Amino acid sequence: MTPSRPAFAPAEPYRMRIGEAWREARATFAAVDPSTGETWARIPQGTAADVDDAVAAARAAFPAWRRTTPATRQELLWRIADRVEADPDRWARLLATENGRPIREAHVADVPTCAGIFRFFSGVVRDLRGDQIPVEAPERLVYTTREPLGVIAALIPWNSPIITLANKLAPALAAGNTVVVKPSELASASVLEFARLVEDLLPPGVLNVVTGGGPEAGAALVAHPDVAKISFTGGPETARRIMAAAGTVLTPSIMELGGKGAMIVCADADVPRAVSDALTGIYLANGEACIAASRLLVHDAVHDEFLAEFERRARTIVVGDALDPRSQFGPMVSRGQRDRVEACVAAAIAEGATLRVGGTRPALGAPFDDGFFLEPTLLEEPAGTTSASRSEIFGPVTVLERVGDDEEAIARANGTPYGLAAGVWTTDLARAHRIAQRLDVGVAWVNTWFDLPIGAPMGGVKESGFGRETCAETLLEYSAPRVVNIDLGPTRPHLWGDA
């Protein structure tokens, strides 16, 4: 470990959380600091047997947890938020060390958002209620209750791990379910730290964490017959594998998948403001975000002005150690991810795109020579026909395209398999509504990007997935109606045999 850096150091070796036990694994794998390439912790390599035990623990905890009162669940979720907020510096150092999230972002984004999601679901616990159903028969009482489902399998990615964890855990617990989490191999420590933080708040077995490989621990979890629902955030290819496995045991799922966010800049847009939003849209979280603004569809009339301003500002972005508060941009999460993003840039250039900004590894000097850095990158390809305009790169690469009118912009924005987020920049109110209404996405922004208020549904259409998180209706994803049908009549007609 480089001594001068305030890198996060675990207080004790990481172990998995299964029921009331903290369990070691026979094998471990390395957690690597992306700024330096150094191993900073070891993560347990969970097995199918660990998954079995975790599901059994969650199943055993379910009957008592589902009977807790709304007030109990409200209070516990609120207290979890208090704990998360109690030491933001610690989380910020952990996330920067773990996945390279610039420390200044962890302070303003990850910690408050994670806590805010727990507070939101604490607030809506009492909104989960059934209906009284109007029926024709006068002496019938028919009503529904919302029942929790059972054991939820939560599989989360490495970007923003405590936010994606909160997105699943808070509503699942609020609705009365118990949970087994399988974190990403690249961001397991933050989930284990979270489980440690709330250990004394939640009864044993209500939250279990099995770390390990996706194809091993993850695959065992999603194929487990005692899992009631799968809640997955990650890539579409993994989603296909999971749904195939879940199909064998008929387990339903929520899928929050990738995106190819298109930002439409109209001829009447406030260009400097649109450039600011584009820079945030693509370079926040090092570009490793499902809602990244990875396509910039800019009207002919303002294209050159937009390009000049974007280039000027992108070249001044401070790239450096994720732990340094002066860094505006950190490393990619892993060597593999950096190599993959570089290959996407090379492929786009070979297909005809022009490299305008970045695309190379910055020379930061020791101890960052083995870090997984790549400069913020802008490609230009007016027609938007290269792979970089169609496929999710999941890195700091955006493509500037040139559009002639609104119709062309809308058609291009909708012309990918994804449908997560898109946005339009204009000073014309009617045009803003017209375009927003025709974007084939779950989230459409007007003159802003990356703003996801807690309470507003988050999720996609097409290959960006299904199900909605961070909103009151998410509770419906984690519960099912039970109909109670009561005959209040004093007599009954005799239809069979002698009266």
Enumerate the active-site residues.
Answer: 168, 256, 290, 469
Burial level of 293, CB count in 10 A (0-12/13-18/19+)? Answer: buried
Can residue 184 be called a binding residue for ligand NAD (CB under 6 A)? Answer: yes
Can residue 118 be called a binding residue for ligand NAD (CB under 6 A)? Answer: no
β-bridge partners, 21? 18
Q: Which of residues 395-434 bind ligand NAD (CB under 6 A)?
A: 420
Of the candidate residues 394, 445, 449, 478, the single one contacting ligand NAD (CB under 6 A): 394
Tokens encoding 13: 């070796």
Can residue 130 be called a binding residue for ligand NAD (CB under 6 A)? Answer: no
Tokens encoding 91: 């989380």
CA distances for 124 relative to 120, 201, 389, 433, 475, angstroms:
6, 19, 39, 30, 9
Of the candidate residues 148, 161, 258, 358, the single one contacting ligand NAD (CB under 6 A): 258
| Phi/psi of residue 200, nearest 5 degrees | -85, -5
Cβ 4 to ligand NAD shortest distance, Å: 31
Cβ 187 to ligand NAD shortest distance, Å: 8
**Residue 73 contacts residue 81 (beta carbons within 8 Å):** no
Binding piece for ligand NAD, criterion CB under 6 A, among 78-86, 92-100, 254-262, 432-440: 254-262
Strands (E), 45-193: 140-148, 151-155, 178-182
Of the candidate residues 74, 177, 233, 251, the single one contacting ligand NAD (CB under 6 A): 233
Cβ 234 to ligand NAD shortest distance, Å: 3
Tokens encoding 123: 């607030």
d(CA 46, CA 196): 17
Quickly tell me which residue has 């395209």 as its tokens. Answer: 401
Smaller CB separation from ligand NAD, 109 or 420: 420
Smaller CB separation from ligand NAD, 31 or 76: 31
Binding piece for ligand NAD, criterion CB under 6 A, among 29-37, 43-51, 215-223, 339-347: 215-223
Of the candidate residues 219, 274, 397, 409, the single one contacting ligand NAD (CB under 6 A): 219
Checking DSSP bridges between strand 295-299 and strand 178-182, what pairing results, if any?
unpaired
Q: Which of residues 12-41 bind ligand NAD (CB under 6 A)?
A: none
Burial level of 42, CB count in 10 A (0-12/13-18/19+)? Answer: middle
First to last CA, the chain: 87
Can residue 362 be called a binding residue for ligand NAD (CB under 6 A)? Answer: no
Of the candidate residues 100, 112, 148, 157, the single one contacting ligand NAD (CB under 6 A): 157
Interface residues with ligand NAD (CB under 6 A) are: 155-159, 164, 182-185, 214-215, 218-219, 222, 233-235, 238, 241-242, 256-259, 290, 392, 394, 420, 460
